Amino acid sequence: MMPDPPPGDVLPPAVLERIAQAIHEHYRRNQAEHKPATDPALRPWGELAETLKESNRHQAGDIGRKLRGLGYRVVHSDGMPKVAQFTPEEIERLAAMEHDRWVAERRASGWTAGAVRDVERKITPYLVSWDQLSEEVRESDRDAVRAIPELLAEAGFEIQRA
């Protein structure tokens, strides 16, 4: 389970779990045409390997840190949550931060770099710096961070300038 949110973040563990599931569903929708249907990462949440669920939980738990890095904070909405819009520059920064988080998570889990992705052997060609990624892979990270405002709004939270 995810640790408690950092001070200043108001996302309780149950909300982080819902956001993690929403992150996964967003990923499934966006990757369905790019990956084979047999890819383990495309399984529904209930069938997803625990390691992949944890990855989504870590991504959800890191939203507050990334937003603080841009001068934002996450607050509980008093009514209908306002859905923030990031600038292209903010999207780029958030996407690079998300990629760095993902790389650190994968390395900590024993993944290594290799030319061809092999989930069973924990090999991926994406354990490289942001600058070395293909534009297609970068766009996947951008899609993930573009979804943050809507994911938070669905959970009753919004993004405000700190």
Q: Give the tens place of pLDDT for each residue, 22-33.
A: 999 999 998 888
Residue 111: both structure tokens together: 């993944």
Global pTM reads 0.85
101 domain-assigned: yes
- Sites in the chain below the pLDDT cut of 50: 1-8
> Residue 123 belongs to what domain range?
13-161
105 domain-assigned: yes
**Distance of alpha carbon 55 from the chain centroid:** 8
Nearest to 132 by CA among 103, 91, 90: 103
pLDDT at 1: 39
Residue whose pair of structure tokens reads 């389970």 in the numeric block: 1
Parallel, antiparallel or unpaired: strands 123-124 and 112-113 = parallel
Which CATH number fits the domain that encloses residue 116?
1.10.490
Residue 99: both structure tokens together: 């990629």
Residues sharing a CB contact under 8 Å with residue 121, sequence separation 6 or more, in sequence order: none
Question: Number of folded domains in the chain?
Answer: 1
pLDDT at 77: 86
104 domain-assigned: yes
The span from the CA of 64 to the CA of 97, in Å, is 12
3 domain-assigned: no
**pLDDT (tens digit per residue) in 101-124:** 999 999 999 999 999 988 889 999
pLDDT at 10: 56
5 domain-assigned: no
pLDDT at 76: 86
